[in-house]
Amino acid sequence: MGDAAAIRCEGISKRYRLGRGRSGYETLRDRLARAARGLLGGGGAPGAAGANEVWAVRDVTFAVQPGEVVGLIGRNGAGKSTLLKLLTRITEPTAGRAVIRGRVASLLEVGTGFHPELTGRENIFLNGAILGMPRRETAARFDEIVAFAEIEKFVDTPVKHYSSGMYVRLAFAVAAHLSPEVLLVDEVLAVGDAAFQKKCLARMEAVNRGGLTILFVSHQMNAIRRLCARCLWLDGGAVRLDAPAEEAIAAYERAHLAGDLRGAARPGAPAEGASFVSWEVIEPRGSGPHTLNGLGTVRLAVTVEVRRAIAHGVHGVTLYDADNRVIWGWAAYNLRIEPGAVEFQYALDSLPVRPGRYTLHVSLYDENRMLDQWTCVPDLLVTTPPMTHPRDEWSGVLNTPCSLSLAPARAAPGAGAPGGDL
Amino acid sequence: MSANDAKAEVVIQPSRGWAALNLRETWAYRELLLFFTWRDLKVRYKQTLLGASWALVQPALTVAVFTLFFGRLAGIDTGAVPYPLFSFAGVMVWGYFAGSVTRAATSLVGQQNLLKKVYFPRLIVPVSSVFVGLVDLLMASAALACLMAFYGVAPTARVAALPGLVALAVLLALGVGLWLSALNVKYRDVGHMVPFLMQTWMFLSPVIYPSALVPQTRTVAGWEIPARALYGLNPMAGVLEGARWSLFGVGSAPGAAVLTATIVALVLLFTGAAFFRRMERDFADLI
């Protein structure tokens, strides 16, 4: 009976080496230099390799039955995307095993394989082939795909002239018509306007009545609630909870508020150097130490444990929104830091962002050597009351108050006055 | 339940050591191979004024320059074949080989967005870049036929061997291309090295001069070196001499050189494919 699972993972794990491999590539010179150091016996630090390893996914075991729709939740860096990359065979696991039964299609990014110089028509066929759809099948569904994407007039225009909305719609339309048996989806619904997102969700639900198995990664809990009966919560690369969707989401959100999350898997902190310890909102503080409520001057503090004097410190801070977009980034250079516990305090005039969940990421270097980086735990929760358009798709990224007054035109009569229906 | 269920089953686990070539899977993706080839062809001459005629303009200009400098000024002896004809055949075949190797070497890095987002047998990428050049070669062959008619050189029955020699050039380009493309993912030095490599290789191949110009033996510092035999180890020597022999019907069949080229091509192809498969599993992480 167990064999019938559409997806079965048994202890699947993926290890990355930091510094090499994942980011940056090794040049021949590095390799030769390393080999030379090895020959001379010592010089380099062979033991350093272990400290720079990260288990992005560790010992994950679960099974998904045919026709089941399972959501994958967890904060940034919890291993969701890596798990999907393993299941789509883009990267190989370091240990463990997974078996997928049935035709697999994946949607890790919309528009993968689109070529800007080719027309919409040509890209539909190309993208179909990349996603594993035979040409005959693409041809049979061509009209349906074009209609779904609402690009009838532009099928023979190169996609480089498309608006980003058209591009996304076309890309999703191809994928939504693949008719696979197992579909792996990563956060693609984050792009595109709300109306199209709804259409895509509806399409996925419709396809699912035909027994499609879906593994679905999203930060949008509403989409997860709507689509999935069951949820896997990943934390620090491992499965923290495998439960009915409502239960898993509730537990996940409770843990968020309580600050009880491991966050991104971190390498074993080096013995020397420094490590980030904690962070908090000083003002305008909401209900908890990691909640920001209000528009006035914002002061945040991050505490770092410095174990060795830093002569040319570089400190970077980045703020991500729930869709992993960079909202704000900043860096300070030439910091001289003495050993001990140090609090970095930032002061901003205001942080007028929409209410929701954000992630702070901080890093500390001495010249070019990374001492530590940290995806701050828990996430930053912004509870400032919304002041923007009541409809979600028109409210934007910023949450800033605005006033409107009607007055006679001051200069050119052509400058249209907005309607006064507010 | 699983035994009589026809559903495809994908097993994902760490591979160890030298993986099998898995050509069956690559074959299952042959349609994608054609798509990649077609896409590269289609995109190649977009937004150019001359379009596909670049495939002819480039070799024609090269041959004009070679004829002026090597044919007229240096007076290289090409026997019964007029120099322009001789060098056009060389430039055309060499151009295919060098272009294919260069394209293949950078093909994986150029497709990195795709490699990081979708799975398909990675072998398809360098293979398709070796196919793309065949269209240019075909166009150049038509031009060569016109040139032959102009010089009054009629093809003989030996021309039947030409497809075989082109196939040899394809295999050779693929063998070298597989090695370089996989290496380039890890060491970008390859990208800088390839133009120089191809230029040097061209001077070591009978493109602008016949192999006959290389002495049988040469004495260097008291050692007698079998220069011609060493030269014959260059697989492109066999391909180029063979191509001229089949096109112009002069001289004796370069059987030994073609055999050497075949052996070298097969060795490069098998080792290249094995190396590629071994590196393949880390492509998405390294690129």
Residue A377 is part of a domain; what is its CATH number?
2.70.50.60
* pLDDT score recorded for residue B155: 85
How large is the ipTM? 0.79
- Residue A145 domain-assigned? no
Q: Which of A92, A129, A132 is nearest residue B14 as measured by Cβ atoms?
A: A92
Residue A371 lies in a domain: yes
Out of B46, B186, B188, whose CB is closest to A117? B46
Nearest CA in chain A to B110: A113
Segment A224-233, tens digit of pLDDT: 887 888 999 9
In a domain, B16, yes or no: no
User: pLDDT digits over B56-90, tens only?
Assistant: 888 999 999 999 998 888 888 888 889 999 999 99
pLDDT at res. B241: 92
A175: how many CB neighbours lie within 10 A of its CB?
25
Q: What's A99's domain CATH number?
A: 3.40.50.300
Domain that holds residue A326: 274-384
A96 and B13 in contact by Cβ < 8 A? yes
A240 and A298 inside one domain: no
Which of A379-388, B43-52, B107-116, B182-191 is predicted with the least confidence, judged by mean pLDDT? B43-52
**What is the least distance, in Å, from the CA of B107 to any CA of chain A?**
14
CB count within 10 Å of CB A405 equals: 5
Q: Are B1 and A3 an interchain contact pair (Cβ–Cβ within 8 Å)? A: yes
pLDDT one-digit tens code per residue, A123-164: 888 888 887 778 888 899 999 999 988 888 999 998 889 887
Residues A196 and A322 in one domain: no
d(CA B37, CA A222): 42
Q: Is A293 domain-assigned?
A: yes
Closest by Cβ to B188, choosing from A25, A90, A129: A25
Phi first, then psi, for residue A371 (nearest 5°) are -95, -45
> For residue B275, is it within any domain?
yes
* Residue B19 falls inside a structural domain: no
Asked if B120's CB is within 8 angstroms of A22's CB, the reply is no
pLDDT at residue A27, as a whole number: 60
Enumerate the residues of chain B whose CB falls inside 8 A of the CB of residue A134: 31
Residue B285 pLDDT class (50, 70, 90 cuts): confident
pLDDT in tens, B206-242: 999 998 888 888 888 888 888 888 888 899 999 999 9
pLDDT exceeds cutoff 80 at A201: no
Spell out which residues of chain A touch residue B10, defining contact as CB-CB under 8 Å: 89, 99-101, 104
Q: How far is B28 from chain A (nearest CA, A)?
A: 10
Q: Is residue A75 part of a domain?
A: yes
Q: Strand A298-306 relative to strand A340-348: parallel, antiparallel, unpaired?
A: antiparallel
Please report, in angstroms and rounded to a whole number, the separation of the first and last CA atoms in chain A. 61
Taking each helix axis from N to C terminus, what angle separates B189-203 and B83-110, rounded to the nearest 10 degrees? 170
Task: Tell whether A208 and A354 lie within a shared domain.
Answer: no
Q: Which residues of B touch A21 (CB under 8 A)?
A: 282, 285-286
Q: Has residue B15 been placed in a domain?
A: no
Q: Which residues on chain A are in Cβ contact (under 8 Å) with B15?
A: 92
Is A4 in contact with B13 (Cβ distance < 8 A)? Answer: no
A90 and B119 within 8 Å at the Cβ level: the answer is yes
pTM: 0.73
Q: Check whether residue A307 and residue A226 sit in a common domain.
A: no
The range of the structural domain enclosing residue B248 comes to: 25-286
3-class SS string, chain A = CHHHCCEEEEEEEEEEECCCCCCCCCCHHHHHHHHHHHHHCCCCCCCHHHHCEEEEEEEEEEEECCCCEEEEECCCCCCHHHHHHHHCCCCCCCEEEEEEECCEEEECCCCCCCCCCCEHHHHHHHHHHHCCCCHHHHHHHHHHHHHHHCCHHHCCCEHHHCCHHHHHHHHHHHHHCCCCCEEEEECHHHCCCHHHHHHHHHHHHHHHCCCCEEEEECCCHHHHHHHCCEEEEEECCEEEEEEEHHHHHHHHHHHHHHCCCCCCCCCCCCCCCEEEEEEEEEECECCCCCEECCCCCEEEEEEEEECCCEEEEEEEEEEEECCCCEEEEEEEEEEEECCEEEEEEEEECCCCECCEEEEEEEEEEECCEEEEEEECCCCEEECCCCCCCCCHHHCCCECCCCCCCCCCCCCCCCCCCCCCCC
Nearest to A88 among B32, B119, B187 (CB): B119
Residue to test with chain B: of A25, A27, A85, A104, most B Cβ within 10 A: A25
Question: CB–CB of A388/A354 below 8 Å?
Answer: yes
- Top residue of A64, A83, A89 to mutate, by most chain B CBs within 10 Å, is A89
CA distance B106 to A361: 35
Chain B hits for A213, Cβ within 8 Å: none
Same domain as A254, residue A279: no
Total number of domains constituting chain A: 2
Number of domains in chain B: 1
Using DSSP, state whether B102 is helix, strand or coil.
helix
In a domain, A230, yes or no: yes
Q: Which distant-in-sequence residues (6+ apart) come within 8 Å of B118 by Cβ?
A: A88, A90, A106, A108, A112, A113, A130, A131
Assess whether A368 and A342 both reside in one domain: yes
The mean pLDDT of A67-79, rounded to a whole number, is: 86
Q: Are residues A36 and A67 in the same domain?
A: yes
Question: Is there a single domain that holds both residue A192 and residue A324?
Answer: no
Does residue A49 carry a pLDDT above 50?
no
Pairwise pLDDT comparison (A49 vs A105), residue with the higher score: A105
Minimum mean pLDDT range among A105-114, B166-175, B191-200, B251-260: A105-114
CA B228 to each of CA A45, B81, B210, B222, B243: distance values in angstroms, whole numbers, following the listed order:
50, 22, 12, 18, 19
- Whether A420 is in a domain gets the answer no
Q: Which among A217, A245, A214, A209 has a CA at the least distance from the CA of A230?
A: A245
Mean pLDDT of A194-210: 72
Residue A78 is assigned to a structural domain of this protein: yes
B7 inside domain = no
pLDDT at residue A268, rounded to an integer: 44
| Distance to chain A for B85, nearest Cα, Å | 37
**Does residue A419 fall inside a structural domain?**
no
Contacts of A109 in chain B (CB under 8 A): 117
Residue B45: closest C-alpha in chain A: A117
- Phi first, then psi: give them for residue A332, nearest 5 degrees: -125, 140
Mutate to test the interface with B, among A14, A64, A99 (most CBs of B within 10 A): A99
Identify the residue with better confidence: A400 or B96. Answer: B96
Residues A225 and A368 in one domain: no
Q: Are A323 and A211 within one domain?
A: no
The torsion defined by the Cα of A21, A25, A27 and A31, in degrees rounded to 10, comes to -10
Rounded-to-integer distance, Cα B220 and Cα A44, Å: 44
Give the one of B43, B46, B186 whose C-beta lies nearest to A26's C-beta: B186
Same domain for A96 and A196? Answer: yes
Phi and psi, residue B254, nearest 5°: -80, 60
Half-sphere exposure for A132 (CA within 13 Å, toward CB)? 21
- The predicted structure's pLDDT at residue A267: 45
Does B12 reside within a domain?
no
Same domain, A71 and A189: yes
Angstrom distance (rounded) from CA A314 to CA A337: 10
